[in-house]
Structure 1
Amino acid sequence: MTEAQWAQIKPHCLGKISDPGRSGRNNRLFMEAVLWIVRTASPWRDLPAMFGNWSTAFRRFRDWRETDVFKRIFDALSDEPDMEYAMIDATIVKVHRHGQGANVWPAPSARGLRSMV
């Protein structure tokens, strides 16, 4: 994550000096851990040790999710969307059957034609 991205995210994180309760140790490293999980689609147990204990990271993720921290971060970042990676692919938009070359209407058999005459 770049310095500019972190500057936008930082004010919305829990664990600042002004927040009551426990303080978050290294919110930026935690956000990098969350982004690693999202990018790799790995389970929390596979979180690399450089991000700290996976169980602690997961509990912190759960706490942030329940207090809508990620929604606030999303809202703050969505003011200026980066359309660099916007794309449409086949996992999102499906082609209609006849666009794939399929017969929409089954061809009548020769026997069926004789019975129609």
Structure 2
Amino acid sequence: MTLPGPARGDLTDAQWALLEPLLPTPAAGRPPSRSKRQLINGIRWRVRVGAPWRDVPERYGPWQSVYDLFRRWTRNGTWARILTALRSRADAAGLITWDINVDSTAVRAHQHAAGAAERGKAGITKRSSPTITGWAAHAEG
């Protein structure tokens, strides 16, 4: 079956040539009725648009087939392996710039940095940032 021409957002021939070798080899048995490229384009359409699976256009095949491939490859880790392989190739080609940003939403202070009470000698409780008047009160008391 030939597709009626690529839809906007479908894989180009160059993208398919890069992706196809990363796909798992089909198991022996009945040949699939839809091409992997057609089903993957359906998955990409659904993820890009955010529509329900039942709204996947017929040009990508039955929505059940598109969903089944997505679900199987999610469960068995195929999508993760494909992403890792593509990311490795892009990094090796210098196409990824790695910037590391750290801010207070990603970093937690140690519990002692929060001014938690600690025990010193003779059972005197002191704070991590005491004031002079506080120490004087403990010394005299």
Q: Is TM-score (shorter-chain normalized) higher than 0.5?
A: yes
Matched position secondary structure for 1:78 = helix
Query: Residues of 1 paired with 2:30 and 2:77: CA distance?
Result: 17
TM-score by length of 1: 0.59
Instruction: Give the letter for the 2:12 counterpart.
Output: T
1:44 to 50, 53, 57: 53
Alignment of 1:31-70 (within 5 A): 31-70=40-79
CA distance in 2, matches of 1:72, 1:23: 24
1:9 paired to 2:19: yes
1:55 alignment partner, SS class: helix
| Structure 1: distance between partners of 2:69 and 2:29 | 13
**What is the CA–CA distance in structure 2 between the aligned matches of 1:12 and 1:74, rounded to whole Å?**
10
> Aligned pair count?
82
Calculate the aligned-residue CA RMSD, in Å. 2.3
Provide, for residues 52-101 of structure 1, a one-character-per-residue CA deviation record: whole Å limited to 9, x for no partner. Answer: 11112111211111111111111121121666xxxxxxxxxxxxxxxxxx
- Report sequence identity in percent: 33
Amino acid at match of 1:73: I
Q: Name 1:30's counterpart in structure 2.
A: 39
State the 1:23 CA deviation. Answer: 4.4
The residue type paired with residue 76 of structure 2 is T
Q: Please give the secondary structure, in 1, of the residue aligned with 2:51.
A: coil
2:39–2:65 contact (8 Å) kept in structure 1: no
Seen in structure 2, the aligned counterparts of structure 1 residues 28 and 21 have a Cα distance that, compared at 3 Å, is: same
Q: Which amino acid aligns with 2:82?
A: I
Query: How does the TM-score come out when normalised to structure 2?
Result: 0.50
Report the CA distance shift for 1:75/1:38 in structure 2 as closer, same or farther (over 3 A): same
